[in-house]
Structure 1
Amino acid sequence: MSHDHPLPVLVVEDEIFIRMVAVDSLEDRGYSILEAADAEEAIALLETNSAISLLFTDINMPGDTDGLGLAAEVARRWPHIEIIVTSGAVNMVDDDIPDSGRFLPKPYTAENLERLIQEQLTHASDRPAGK
């Protein structure tokens, strides 16, 4: 089943195979996708693309900023962007994620990822403007 999702989702994952699987499965479901290998690349994309609706990031990544640091930066600078973080090494609860973000443990299915994205985007559309 394909949906029309005009606002892009930013997928941030340093492991290329895992990123490709997530990107392919979301594109197959009608999402527009931007992708980055680390937080620095993700910030550069966010600074040049104001239409991003959701950040989906791994926690463990190379570089100075991990996925939680990226999520905190996104919550601070782009509060309209919904956040989902994932990890196979760390277990978290949603309350640990900035800005009403959600946690999705690895391994995850494409169906679970899409369901969580839909929930976050629905949450965003239900939120009063400016929140």
Structure 2
Amino acid sequence: MSYLATQRTTVLVVEDEPIVLMDAVQALEDAGFEVVDAYDGEHALMKLDERPDIAALFTDVNMPGRLDGVALARMVHERRPDMVLVLTSAAMRLSGADIPDDGRFVPKPYDGLQVAGLIRDMLG
């Protein structure tokens, strides 16, 4: 098996609710992704700077701090236009016009395996 065949795709998960974060991380890891987690937008940007291998962002929209998930997605898209963007929320619904590039919205509650499949499909 080649080195490339054994590399796992890395997903950055941003969620301020610890239980929801743990569930999302577990579902994506079970689907074969490497997962980096962050508890808010600022922390996510630090992780993004530390990890150039991150290929996808899965973020909650409603978070504490100066960046909500939409603002975070816009900043991530500016820095890394190649990244896959998936946003989620229980409080609101977003349309494609609200999310940069070809980002997607998944309403809460979501099925972690469906999110993993969506990310995999978006990565090609």
Question: Which TM-score applies when normalising by structure 2?
Answer: 0.91
Q: 2 CA distance for matches of 1:58 and 1:85?
A: 6
Q: 2 CA distance for matches of 1:7 and 1:26?
A: 10
Q: What's the counterpart of residue 44 of structure 1?
A: 46
1:59 to 53, 58, 61: 61
Q: What's the counterpart of residue 25 of structure 1?
A: 27
Taking a change above 3 Å as real, the CA distance of residues 13 and 95 of structure 1, as seen in their structure-2 partners, is same
Q: What's the counterpart of residue 113 of structure 2?
A: 111
C-alpha displacement at 1:116, in angstroms?
A: 1.1
Taking a change above 3 Å as real, the CA distance of residues 87 and 71 of structure 1, as seen in their structure-2 partners, is same
Give the match's secondary structure for 2:62: coil
C-alpha displacement at 1:94, in angstroms?
A: 2.4
Amino acid at match of 2:44: A
Amino acid at match of 1:45: K
Amino acid at match of 2:78: R
C-alpha displacement at 1:5, in angstroms?
A: 6.0
Equivalent pair of 1:5/1:31 in contact (CA under 8 Å): no
Equivalent pairs counted in the alignment come to 119
Give the match's secondary structure for 2:81: coil
Q: Percent identity?
A: 44
Q: 2 CA distance for matches of 1:29 and 1:119?
A: 13
Q: What's the counterpart of residue 8 of structure 1?
A: 10
Q: What's the counterpart of residue 96 of structure 2?
A: 94
Amino acid at match of 1:68: V
Q: What's the counterpart of residue 122 of structure 2?
A: 120
Question: Which TM-score applies when normalising by structure 1?
Answer: 0.87
Give the match's secondary structure for 2:11: strand
Unaligned 5+ segments in structure 1 are 123-131
Q: 2 CA distance for matches of 1:60 and 1:5?
A: 32
Equivalent pair of 1:9/1:32 in contact (CA under 8 Å): yes
The structure whose RCO (Cα within 8 Å, separation 6+) is larger is: 2
Unaligned 5+ segments in structure 2 are 1-5
